Every structure is written in structure tokens, then in C-alpha cells.
Amino acid sequence: MPPRLGCPYGSHRSVEPRESLPQPAWRLDNTPDIYDNEILIDVETLNVDSASFTKIVGEVGGDPAAIGARIWAIVAERGKLHNPVTGSGGMLIGTVERVGSALADTCGLKPGDRIATLISLSLTPLKLEVIRSVRPETDQVDVVGKAVLFEKSLYAKLPADLPDKLSLAVLDVAGAPAQTAKLVGPGDTVLVLGGGGKSGLLCLHEAKKRVGVTGRVIALEYSATALERIQALGLADTVLQGDATKPLQVRQAVLEATGGELADVTLSNVNVPGAELSAILATKETGLIYYFSMATSFTAAALGAEGVGSDARMLIGNGYTKGHADIALQVLRENPRLRALFEELYA
Ligand code: NAP
């Protein structure tokens, strides 16, 4: 019998509209009966994207049961955990249950392997059987369920030297430190908005390493706890308390901190909307902005930059760049104090 092959990118699973790619699709076929070029995962834990989790909490409150019910409803309606408001997803860890025959010799996975997916839950077919527990302090949700990976989907085997939940938390934002490694150079002044959050701290470490002794790293955060955390870890040369949704105040603070120079590279790592113009006004007109935040409006960024006459280069927060998983996990191996904090917060 000829193999039953789906589209390598997963369009065969799009139900509404048919033939669309799975990320923009409204609904996916989440049947755990896999094609010969798919992989079936027995799912353990979902790491919900921070912008999505924050939005859900804003809608239903902080009660774990209510958060779980909302997540259940989204997955039941869409066949994937694709937040209809933020458009974002997250990722998951689980165990390989079955590898389609067409991938068995090439994908490097076998049943029983423990993996983290490196593609968004906003495009991953997911069928939930039970929500076991919701942990609002980490945005993680333990479940019983099945997920499907396509032929082109990215994944990483969970490393043996780090706790699984820690790897899950870090791999969720792997693109951020990896992009920092590529975008930041010696001597740069780097600003991280939301520097005390999960991706922000990883970016600070990577930025500090890349700017060298002639560069400078500035973290902006608004909560006192997060500011103390950054200071205690020595991850930034300057720590600013501020609200990333207040562009004029952020610009003033960064002007003062840089002696009027502003930042060469700004990374936006907040989990709330409305930070586009703070990044623009805090960055040199010839600088670079990387909008990792999924709460970013790219319309607001583009029109906002035009409106203030900024020629800064702006990058959409592609969560993937080559080697991103290795770079992100390496940060924890290089920085034992950051690892200890992450273990306390996420593992
Ligand atoms: P996180 O751990 O929640 O960090 C966000 C940080 O921003 C927190 O420290 C938060 O402080 C701070 N913050 C919120 N509002 C602020 C404000 N007005 N001014 C200053 N700081 C503020 O989130 P994360 O996991 O690092 O994720 C960050 C963003 O990346 C999210 O938008 C997420 O959706 C996005 N993301 C993107 C990708 C991608 O592929 N591009 C992948 C994963 C996640 P408090 O904790 O005190 O509120």
C-alpha cells in the first residue's frame, strides 16, 4: 500500500479554511490518527505563551480552574491552543508515541523519546483528554493529551542535564537569546524592555556577553521584584524602573542613562501591548529593534516609527533562528546563578 502522506507543512490538517497553512487556519483536524509523515506525541505539559496566558488571566481571573476551562475551550474549538485574541500559542513537552513510517529512518526520533516542540502551539494539532493542573506562576499546564508534528516541524530532545520543566520554560523563548547573539556586537548599547522576565533575563545574559567591555546593557522593568532580580544577578550595567507603555518617559530615562546617545539595539520582551513606541524612541535612528513580544502590533510599530521620523531597522520576533535551542540552553550552563533562579521559578 502506498504511504499516506500529508503536506510537509501541515496544510492537510486545516479544516477551516481548507488548504490554508496550519498557523493562520481557524481550526485544525486534531485526530490523533497520524499520516505516515507525522509524529504522534503523548503530551505532558503545555507552556502557554506569556502574552496568551496574561490575556486569559485578564479575561477569566487568576483561578486555575477558570484558566484551565478557557484553555480547554480554545483547544476544543480550534483543535490547537491558538489564542484568538493574541494569536500566539506556546509549546509543549511530551513523549514520542509513534513515528510515521515515512519518517522513521530520517527524523532521529523513536517511540519513548522525550521531546520539546519548537514550533508554536498555534499551529500544532492538539487533543486534550484531561487538564491535570494549571500553574499560573509558570504559565505551565499539565495535561493528558495527544499532539501531532508535521514532517517540517521542529523539536528538540530534552537534555539529560537539565530538569524537563526548566528546559520547557527556556525553549519556549529560545529565539530571544539566540537572536540577541546574532544582533548584538561589541561596543553596542543594548536596551531590554521587560528585562526581568523569562526571555528578558536570557537576553540580558547574552547581550552582556556580546557587547564586551566597551558596550553597555540597560534593563527596563516596572516591578520592584524583577528589578532586584536583575541587580542581584549582575545582568545589566544599568537598571531602570519604568513602564514600557509610556514612550516619552522611557525615552527620557534612556537619554539620561546613555548621556543622550540612546540604544544601538533594543529588544522588546514585555508581555503586554503598547510598547512599540517606547522601543522606537529609546533607539538611535540608525539602530535596530527586535520585537520578540507577541503583544506587539506591527502596524503600531511601522506607523509609529514613520510618525516620529525614525529610520531604525525593525525585526519581527521570529521565534526561530538556527541553533536557537542550543544557544538558549547554553545560557543556563554558562550562568549557574541564572540557572538557580530559573530552577526556583520554573522547574
Ligand atoms: P515574561 O516572563 O512574562 O516577561 C515579561 C516581562 O515584562 C515581565 O518581567 C513583566 O513584568 C514585564 N512587563 C510587563 N509589562 C511591563 C511594562 N509595562 N513595563 C515594563 N515591563 C513590563 O514573558 P516571556 O516569557 O519572557 O515572554 C515575553 C514576550 O515574548 C511575550 O509577549 C511572549 O508572548 C513573547 N514570546 C515570543 C515568542 C516568539 O517566538 N517571538 C516566543 C515566546 C514568547 P511583570 O512580571 O512584573 O508583569
Q: Is the pLDDT of residue 8 over 90?
A: yes
Q: What's the pLDDT score for residue 346? A: 87
Q: Of 149, 117, 148, 110, nearest to 46 (Cα)?
A: 117
- Tell me, in angstroms, the distance from the centre of ligand 1 to residue 268's CA: 8
pLDDT digits over 112-121, tens only?
A: 999 999 999 9
Tell me the pLDDT tens digit for each residue of 197-216. 999 999 999 999 999 999 99
Does residue 283 carry a pLDDT above 90? yes
pLDDT for 1: 80
* Contact present, 51 and 82 (Cβ < 8 Å): no
Ligand 1: which of 52, 227, 248, 269 to mutate, most ligand atoms within 8 Å of CB?
Answer: 269
Residue 73 has pLDDT above 90, yes or no: yes
- Whole-model pTM: value is 0.92
Judged against a pLDDT cut of 90, whether residue 2 lies above it is answered with no
Mean per-residue pLDDT of the chain: 96
Closest C-alpha residue for ligand 1 atom 48: 223
Question: What is the per-residue pLDDT across 76-101, written as a single tens digit (0 to 9) for each?
Answer: 999 999 999 999 999 999 999 999 99
User: Which of 25-34, 164-173, 248-257 has the least mean pLDDT?
Assistant: 164-173
Q: Which residues line ligand 1 (CB under 6 A)?
A: 49-51, 88, 172-173, 175, 194, 196-200, 220-223, 226, 243-245, 269-272, 292-295, 317, 319
At residue 133, the pLDDT reads 98
pLDDT confidence tier of residue 128, bands split at 50, 70 and 90: very high
Centre of ligand 1 to C-alpha 326, Å, is 21
CA of 246, closest atom in ligand 1: 18
- pLDDT reading at 304 higher than 90: yes
Q: Which residue has the CA at smallest separation from atom 35 of ligand 1? A: 293
Please give the grid coordinates belonging to residue 160.
539529560
CB 35 within 8 A of CB 147: no
Tens-place pLDDT, residues 253-272? 999 999 999 999 999 999 99
Question: In the structure, what pLDDT confidence band is assigned to residue 347 with cuts at 50, 70 and 90?
Answer: confident
